[in-house]
Structure 1
Amino acid sequence: MRAPPCVFIIDDDAVRDSLGQVMENAGLAFQAFESAEHFLQTYCPGMSGCLLLDLNMPDMTGDELQAELLSRNIHLPIIFLTGYGDIPTTVRVIKAGAIDFLTKPVPSKLLIERIQMALQQESLKQEQAKEVHAHCSCQYGLTARELEIVSLVVAGHSNKEIANQLGISHRTVEVHRAHVMEKTGATCLLELVRLFEACQLPPEPPA
């Protein structure tokens, strides 16, 4: 079974413990990390949930982590937390896709409301992705495993990363990719991405 959505908390020790308690009281699954680097080492693509992210952290800041996630095609909803924030920074991270920017201390009730909203949006996005997969499967006759692999391929993951994530061999990934290319008629990765994106378009109405 798919794991329930998780709130990934990235903040300093005192605040991290406090936020964890708020999540626990609200009955939300959560994981806490002391740094952006620790989160990146632990997170597996495909894990669902949202990020509760401190903006001002040593080594890698919150907005630097946001940029790194985007470069890896990881689009978890992000709620930024900060002890102080300025308008240019707020505008920048919201433009980059963050769904909220809250100044500490945040009332627990408000925080939970914003997190639940983020998780609902993420759930809707996943349901839409399932519809895309079903359409692609019907149109091209792809198996469940082939759909799983092609989703990771078009998200920018290498064969090695896909093999590690799915617990299969590098060679098995190559075989499935070859089958996908054959079934779809794509001759290169760019064509495959375009075909997969086309699956998201609604069918044209009959003439």
Structure 2
Amino acid sequence: MSPTTPTVFIVDDDPSVRESLEALVEYAGWRCETFATARDFLSAPPAPGPSCLLLDVGLPDLNGLELQERIGSDRSDMPIIFITGNGDIPVTVKAMKAGAVEFLVKPLSQEALLIAMRSAFARSTAQRDLDAADAVLRARYASLTSREREVMELVTAGMLNKQVGGELGITEITVKAHRGRVMQKMQARSLADLVKMTWALNLAPLERQGDHEQED
């Protein structure tokens, strides 16, 4: 299988359930990893490609909801499909509010399970793409000097070059030079593009400290 083959992680303390789910997953052509406990799963490395987690609510160590809370944002690209022996409405509501994509009651319908997994893989792929784009954007921002970051903040806040120069105590020509480097390093095609990047980075206003890098 290639690194992009979807992976299904199965966490269920019932061996017969694990075996039947594993057979279904492999028949569908996906990679499968099974675990009897939540702690066993926590020690496993993340999947190289899109993935989802089939998670039993009632586990002997951490229960399903506790595991969901534990992994939280650490595995945001791995949607969770809960499976349970009973349709406990409060538990279902809590799981769905915490981001679960589906809550299925045993005995499981193969068709419903396959549909849920395909939907989870689509969400996983989308999240992985977003994470990759965010990592690239943050790497570009990290390449900026402190002065370039200040210029970027003020320019995207709507200040003209002359106003930025007055705020930072540098000439308008120097502001233009910094602004050009910012656009180049961030690979922004326009000011509007740079503004969108600032929003995506969720940047907080920079503090004025009066001691800047000696490059102006």
TM-score class, shorter-chain normalisation, is 0.5 to 0.7
What is the aligned residue count? 149
Q: Which has the larger radius of gyration?
A: 2
Q: How far apart are the structure 2 equivalents of 1:4 and 1:15?
A: 23
Q: How far apart are the structure 2 equivalents of 1:117 and 1:10?
A: 19
Task: Decide whether aligned partners of structure 1 residues 87 and 130 sit closer, same or farther in structure 2, where only a CA change above 3 A counts.
Answer: same
**Matched residue of 1:50: which SS?**
strand
Aligned to 1:92: 94
Aligned to 1:5: 6
Aligned to 1:204: none
Gaps of 5+ in 1: 143-195, 202-207
Q: 2:143 aligns with which of 136, 141, 144?
A: 141
**Matched residue of 2:61: which SS?**
coil
Counterpart code for 1:73:
D
Counterpart code for 1:26:
A
Task: Decide whether aligned partners of structure 1 residues 41 and 135 sit closer, same or farther in structure 2, where only a CA change above 3 A counts.
Answer: closer
Gaps of 5+ in 2: 145-196, 203-216
- TM-score, with length taken from structure 2: 0.61
- TM-score, with length taken from structure 1: 0.63
Q: How far apart are the structure 1 equivalents of 2:201 and 2:21?
A: 37
Counterpart code for 2:9:
F
Q: How far apart are the structure 1 equivalents of 2:22 and 2:47?
A: 22
Q: How far apart are the structure 2 equivalents of 1:45 and 1:141?
A: 29
CA RMSD in angstroms comes to 2.8
Q: How far apart are the structure 2 equivalents of 1:64 and 1:43?
A: 19
Counterpart code for 2:87:
G
Deviation at 1:94, TM superposition (A): 0.7
Aligned to 1:21: 23
**Matched residue of 2:75: which SS?**
coil
Aligned to 2:128: 126
Deviation at 1:101, TM superposition (A): 0.3
Q: How far apart are the structure 1 equivalents of 2:47 and 2:6?
A: 13
